[in-house]
Structure 1
Amino acid sequence: MAHAGARLVSAPGAGRQVLPDADEVAREAAERLVVLAGAKAGRIGICLSGGSTPKLLYRLLAGPAFRSRLPWDRLHWFFGDERVGDGPEAGSNRRMVEEAFGADLVPPGHLHPIPTGGPPQACAAAYAAELAAWYGADRLDPGRPLFDLVLLGLGEDGHTASLFPGKPEARESGAWVVPVPEAGLAPFVPRVSLTLPALGATPLLLFLVTGAGKRAPLARLAAGEDLPAGHVRASGEMVWLLDAAAAG
């Protein structure tokens, strides 16, 4: 049996690129988005990730180097996961993106945050309905992606989005969005997450992985451990963008 980490790199459409640091990982992701946007007419759906490296990316996109290179009027921004409920942590990914992009860059209705008020089951159902409205159907067609680009990170425990090791949400194969009543890491607040089928319904999926703390989960994936990040499959190209510290 092939190791999970080996599959991530050697499977058709998968790749691995090592860059000097987190800034260069963010810049490479930004350049790929520019290329994607230039190659496609009409609206473009991007599924965002939380975390420190994606935050660098979002600030870069809104900055002078990339702001004018992107068709902001055609870009729609979705979220791979979010903390929900009535605690101060709720909506942290949305706030991060809003802070990075600023008030005037994204046209009204082009940012699609996961609802955070109420039980996680209701928030998940509401976001599933929004994704179905965007897609125009409530079942995925293998020939038609849900997103044009998906960004993901890798947790130190091997989770991605809010799909944690040993939790049933990481094995969901039907729904696009699931409630996560109990997170696998602090803060232990309820979350909502897109599932592996929804996250993989894209022609381009980028894992942004930076820092020495990510060496251990990368090694665990390469050793064949059953971790959620190792089960991600894209309908098109999947690339792991690593910085030198993570790659070791």
Structure 2
Amino acid sequence: MSTLPAGHRVLPDADAVARAAAGRLVGIAAEKPDRIGICLSGGSTPKILYRLLAGPDFRERLPWERLHWFFGDERVGDGPEAGSNRRLAEEAFGDLVPRGHLHPIPTDRAPEACAADYEAELKAWYGADRLDPARPLFDCVLLGLGEDGHTASLFPGKPEAREATAWVVAVPEAGLAPFVPRVSLARPALEATPLALFLVTGAGKREPLARLAAGENLPAGRVRAAGETVWLLDEAAAG
């Protein structure tokens, strides 16, 4: 039995994973003539990806004026960790993103209020209060895999990972450090896309990948795009 998830692709290193993801985003942009919604994740490999998108190899291949950037999760509150995913994108993209095209999760209120506000923003973007399986919310969702099997801020054993109705949930208690409140998209929103890309790098991801392959019911294994779910792994993660 394979120890890697269905739909996986093994690449040499984190740079190659980021480059493969960038190529998929360029392909999406080339196929769709109107506005494009991309849901971002945090972490070291996405950081490489975002800098790559803003760099000379990809910057001119993307229609920045049609791209809108959303977030799969965020740390909230009054600590220095709050807004870290937003800052990651802002620092990488700089002034390439037109005003109003970056849609950060609010961080300056209680997590429940931040979640409610972001769900309202997603519904305004979508133009409806209910998701239609025939009409995606995002054109691509980027995701990661935590060493405990979490994705976005949906942690094993936490009720938010089982949410099947709300688009956005408050996560008052994270499952891993830093133990700060978070806001996360729930499965209905994460899955409302024709393409979900899991970017998984580093030897520390071998164990959760093996647990997923063994059939353990981890949050990362439960997220399935309405279309294609692709796992981009580097050799260190794939073992």
Q: Tell me which residue corresponds to 1:22.
A: 14
One-letter amino acid of the structure 2 residue matched with residue 35 of structure 1: G
Q: Report the counterpart of residue 121 of structure 1 in structure 2.
A: 112
Distance, in Å, in 1 between the alignment partners of 2:232 and 2:177 is 25
Q: Does 1:81 align with 2:97?
A: no
Would the alpha carbon gap of residues 89 and 138 (structure 1) be closer, same or farther in structure 2, given more than 3 Å must change?
A: same
The answer to whether structure 1 residue 167 and structure 2 residue 158 are counterparts is: yes
- 1:4 to partner: Cα distance: 11
TM-score, normalised by the number of residues in structure 2? 0.98
Shift of 1:123: 0.1
DSSP-derived class of the 1:31 partner = helix
For 1:22-62, what per-residue CA distance to the aligned partner results, in whole angstroms no more than 9, with x for missing partners? Answer: 00000000001001100001000000000000000000000
- How far apart in 2 are the matches of 1:68 and 1:167? 42
Query: 1:39 & 1:226 partners in 2: Cα distance?
Result: 35
Q: What secondary structure, in the 3-state scheme, does the structure 2 residue paired with 1:240 have?
A: strand
C-alpha displacement of 1:162: 0.1
In the alignment, what sits opposite 1:144? 135
Query: CA separation in 2, counterparts of 1:193 and 1:4?
Result: 30
2:123 aligned partner? 132
| 2:196 pairs with 1:205 | yes
Q: List gaps (5 residues or longer) in structure 2.
A: none
Contact persistence 1:4–1:221 (CA under 8 A): no
* Pairwise CA distance, 1:5: 7.0
Hey, what does 1:194 align to over in structure 2? 185
**CA deviations over 1:216-240 (Å, ceiling 9, x no partner):** 1001111111110010111101100
Q: Distance in 2 between matches of 1:51 and 1:190?
A: 17
Amino acid at match of 2:53: L
The one-letter amino acid of 1:169's match is E
Tell me, in whole angstroms, the C-alpha distance in 2 between the residues paired with 1:37 and 1:16: 23
Partner Cα separation in structure 2 for residue 240 and residue 123 of structure 1: 30
> 1:156 aligns to what SS in structure 2?
coil
Aligned to 1:243: 234
- For 1:82 and 1:20, the matched residues in 2 are separated by 29
Number of equivalent positions: 239
Q: Note the C-alpha offset of 1:215.
A: 0.3
Q: Could you tell me which residue of structure 2 aligns to residue 12 of structure 1?
A: none
1:107 to 2:107 alignment? no
Letter in 1 for 2:35: R
3-state SS, counterpart of residue 35 of structure 1: helix
Percent pairwise identity: 81
For 1:46, what is the secondary structure of its paired residue?
Answer: strand
Task: Structure 1: state its 5+ residue gaps.
Answer: 10-14
Distance 1:91 1:4 in 2: 37
CA apart distance, 1:197: 1.2
Q: The residue matched to 2:96 in structure 1 has which SS?
A: coil
Conservation of the 8 A alpha-carbon contact between 1:5 and 1:224: no
CA deviation vs aligned residue, 1:139-170 (integer Å, no higher than 9, x gap): 10000000000000000000000000000000
CA-atom RMSD in angstroms: 1.2
